[in-house]
């Protein structure tokens, strides 16, 4: 079946531009996560949704970062006034249910380069 | 949050077994031990998880020490496709009335497989 899909695969933005990154989770998955991965590092948690409710946004690095999942399915991560330090791979993951044992399924990410 | 310690890198020969160690001396009683791997230019992929008993699946085996302060991921016959960064992760339990936690990644172990 289809996995987690992210678009675009690559995004180049000029400093100061706004960007929107899309995530299509696996159908029926309740939980959705966003992660940021800098070059050579492990992914770092940004935010978490359970259905349409954003239950944890403690990892968002600044108020320029905003995420939504209005109908409990597709999610969008928006970054306003991009800065060079925002350059990273942004990963989306979904899981079928809440709970520690439910594995996360990751997309292949969006590589954002801010010039 | 409980942390894990893994070697930065390991090498293996193709078709030989690989033992990837992980130390987690501060693990709590209800933390699950998860392993994910990340191939180049892809998102992380779930490998296996366990709580106390050893676990086997089609991808790998997970051996958990009796005191749970360490674990070992075992690839029985390494192939070139197994070259990846392997992450050992303790699932952080955040209780939202249903117990859901995100994944806290470290730097992982970069596994190289020689033909």
Query: Would residue A40 be called left, alpha or beta, if left means φ above 0 and alpha means ψ between -120 and 50 degrees?
Result: left
Please tell me the distance from the alpha carbon of residue B32 to that of residue B13, in angstroms, as a whole number. Answer: 30
Q: Over its length of 115 residues, how does chain A's per-residue pLDDT go in tens digits? A: 589 999 999 999 999 999 999 999 999 999 999 999 999 999 999 999 999 999 989 999 999 999 999 999 999 999 999 999 999 999 999 998 766 668 899 999 999 999 9
Q: Which residues contact A62 (CB under 8 A, 6 or more apart)?
A: none
Where does chain B show beta strands of DSSP type E?
9-13, 18-23, 33-38, 45-50, 55-56, 61-64, 70-75, 84-90, 109-114
Q: What is the pLDDT of residue B105?
A: 87
- DSSP letter for A69, please: -
Q: What is the pLDDT of residue A76?
A: 98
Task: Collapse the DSSP code of A92 into the 3-class scheme (helix H, G, I; strand E, B; otherwise coil) and give the result.
Answer: strand
B39-56 average pLDDT score: 94
Q: Which residue of B46, B99, B105 is in closest CB contact with A43?
A: B105
Residues of B in contact with A44 (CB under 8 A): 105
Residues of B in contact with A48 (CB under 8 A): 100, 102
B55-59 average pLDDT score: 93
Residues of A in contact with B96 (CB under 8 A): 50, 55, 98
**B1 inside 8 A of chain A by CB:** no
């Amino acid at each position: 079946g289809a996995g987690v899909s992210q678009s675009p695969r690559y995004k180049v933005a000029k400093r100061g531009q706004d960007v929107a990154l899309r995530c299509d989770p696996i159908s029926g998955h309740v939980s959705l996560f966003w992660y940021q991965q800098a070059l050579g590092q492990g992914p770092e948690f940004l935010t978490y949704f359970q259905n349409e409710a954003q239950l944890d946004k403690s990892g968002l690095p600044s108020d320029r970062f905003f995420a939504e999942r209005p109908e409990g399915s597709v999610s969008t991560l928006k970054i306003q006034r991009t800065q060079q330090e925002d350059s990273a791979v942004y990963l989306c993951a979904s899981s079928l249910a809440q709970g520690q044992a439910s594995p996360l399924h990751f997309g292949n990410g969006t590589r954002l380069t801010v010039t | 949050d409980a942390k894990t310690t893994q070697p930065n890198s390991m090498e293996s020969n193709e078709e030989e077994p690989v033992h990837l160690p992980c130390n987690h001396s501060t693990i709590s009683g209800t933390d699950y031990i998860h392993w994910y791997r990340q191939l180049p230019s892809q998102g992380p992929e779930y490998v296996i998880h366990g709580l106390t008993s050893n676990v086997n699946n089609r991808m790998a085996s997970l051996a958990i020490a009796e005191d749970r302060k360490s674990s070992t991921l075992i690839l029985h016959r390494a192939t070139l496709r197994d070259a990846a960064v392997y992450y050992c992760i303790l699932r952080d339990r955040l209780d939202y009335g249903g117990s859901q936690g995100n994944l806290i990644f470290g730097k992982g172990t970069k596994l190289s497989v020689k033909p």
